[in-house]
């Protein structure tokens, strides 16, 4: 009986800790969504990438690689995955 009580206490503590750690992440996500979110970041980063290497690019082109790098960097700086 004592082992069950100990396991239950450990389980409750683990769930409490998990809830405590997840709460800031949820709040940050809500703040980002309210500020325009991912769609705004994508639009901004695409414009920035196209400005860095304007024109029509072909696969393997050095300017294309630069455009991709600029886009990825912009998205990471905005806090999103590219």
Tens-place pLDDT, residues 43-79: 999 999 999 888 887 777 888 889 999 999 999 999 8
Say what the pTM is: 0.55
Largest CA distance in the chain: 73
Instruction: With a cut of 70, say whether residue 1 has pLDDT above it.
Output: no
Domain limits for position 10:
1-35
Q: Are 40 and 79 contained in the same domain?
A: yes
Question: Which among 61, 42, 63 is positioned nearest to 52, based on CA atoms?
Answer: 63
Q: Are 23 and 55 contained in the same domain?
A: no
Q: Are 45 and 81 contained in the same domain?
A: yes
Q: Assess contact for 48 and 66: CB atoms under 8 A.
A: no
Q: Are 55 and 30 contained in the same domain?
A: no
């Amino acid at each position: 009986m004592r082992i069950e009580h100990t396991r239950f206490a450990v389980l409750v503590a683990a769930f409490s800790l998990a809830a405590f750690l997840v709460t800031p992440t949820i709040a940050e996500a809500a703040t980002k969504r309210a500020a325009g979110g991912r769609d705004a970041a994508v639009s901004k980063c695409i414009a920035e990438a196209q400005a860095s290497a304007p024109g029509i690019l072909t696969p393997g082109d050095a300017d294309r690689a630069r455009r991709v790098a600029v886009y990825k960097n912009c998205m990471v700086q905005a806090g999103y995955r590219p």
